[in-house]
Amino acid sequence: MTPIPSMRWPDHLFLIGCGNMAGQMLSRWLDCGLDPARVTVLRPSGRPVADGVTVITDYPSALPAGTTVLLGMKPYQIADVAAALAPLCRADTPIISILAGTTLADLRARFPAARDIVRAMPNLPVGLGEGVTALFTDATTGQTGKADVEALIQPLGLAEWIADESLFNQVTALSGCGPAFLFRFADALARAGEAIGIPADQAARMALATVQGSANMAARASAHAGDSPAILADRVASPGGMTRQGLNVLDADDRLLTLLTDTLAAARDRGEAMARGE
């Protein structure tokens, strides 16, 4: 991976936890040129993360100047983490939280000294630089703080600032959970191909390549011509042809739209229940 020469990396990055999502983010940052000597990861297991990255099992006595903190542990651990971490944070210690269901107000209450606090909700493709990260903060976080966070997120893919924090569960349902739904679709497309007579291994390869190529095509068409996926679908579907006949099945009574709306609503509702501690 070629480093990004114009990147403004934090002087130091302190990760609390380095599980699946935080690990993907860190991997991408390191690929893009973040010096591993600038990174410290706190994980109780002490397991190595990447060459040159310092891993500790307990909190340090102080944070280096210019430290940005990434909260990447499990959300239920916030009380214990904040009790140990908050005394180390100063007004100029930016905090980025990827904790689902943990509101900005909760974070500010637990880290009262920190000025710049941003909620972020990435999805797994951030490890490839093709992810989506929703961002939210309030007026307490300055424009410089917002710009610094956005610059850090930029190598991960698309960054979208959310104006209303109450939409976080909806956004999480769409982009955070979305990769799993797309994986399920790709699997179903392959299995459907097998069901109509294509050998299973060929159907799997063809379905995955079709999903990948179509997604790339849609992204390019949107960026260059502003064409939506709906427009592209209609262009592919000749009147009376095979594609149109298949689309007629998906479009009947808005069955695909209804299915996906129900899917996102179920994910959103679970997020809201988790936020209530249920």
Report the alpha-carbon distance of residue 118 to residue 98 in Å, rounded: 9
Determine if the pTM surpasses 0.75. yes
Q: Is the pLDDT of residue 55 over 90?
A: yes
* Chosen domain end from 168, 193, 224: 168
Residues 41 and 92 in one domain: yes
Residues 231 and 149 in one domain: no
Taken in order 209, 259, 157, 22, the sign of the CA dihedral is negative
Residues 106 and 156 in one domain: yes
Q: Is residue 101 part of a domain?
A: yes
pLDDT tens for each residue of 151-209: 999 999 999 999 999 999 999 999 999 999 999 999 999 999 999 999 999 999 999 99
Q: Is the pLDDT of residue 7 over 90?
A: no
Residues 25 and 119 in one domain: yes
Amino acid identity, position 107: L
Residues 100 and 151 in one domain: yes
Q: Is the pLDDT of residue 2 over 70?
A: no
Residue 206: exposure state from Cβ atoms within 10 A (0-12, 13-18, ≥19): middle
More confident residue, 109 or 225: 109
Residues 164 and 182 in one domain: no
Run of H or E residues at 256? helix 255-275
**Rounded CA Rg of the chain:** 21
Number of domains making up the chain: 2
φ, ψ of residue 84 in degrees (nearest 5):
-90, -35
Q: Is residue 36 part of a domain?
A: yes
Q: Where are the alpha helices (DSSP H) in 59-199?
A: 78-85, 104-110, 143-153, 168-171, 178-195
Residues 100 and 135 in one domain: yes
Q: Is residue 173 part of a domain?
A: no
Question: Containing domain of residue 206, as a range?
Answer: 178-275
Residues 138 and 246 in one domain: no
Residues 154 and 214 in one domain: no
pLDDT tens for each residue of 21-53: 999 999 999 999 999 999 999 999 999 999 999
Residues 86 and 203 in one domain: no
Distances (CA, A) of 148 to 1, 117, 143, 242: 22, 11, 9, 50
Cβ–Cβ < 8 Å for 188, 180: no
pLDDT class of 223 with cuts at 50, 70, 90: confident
pLDDT at 273: 87
* Chosen domain end from 114, 133, 168: 168
Q: Give the tokens for residue 21.
A: 């999502």
Q: Is residue 7 part of a domain?
A: no
Cβ–Cβ < 8 Å for 119, 107: yes
Residues 74 and 139 in one domain: yes
Residues 22 and 149 in one domain: yes
* Chosen domain end from 168, 193, 227: 168
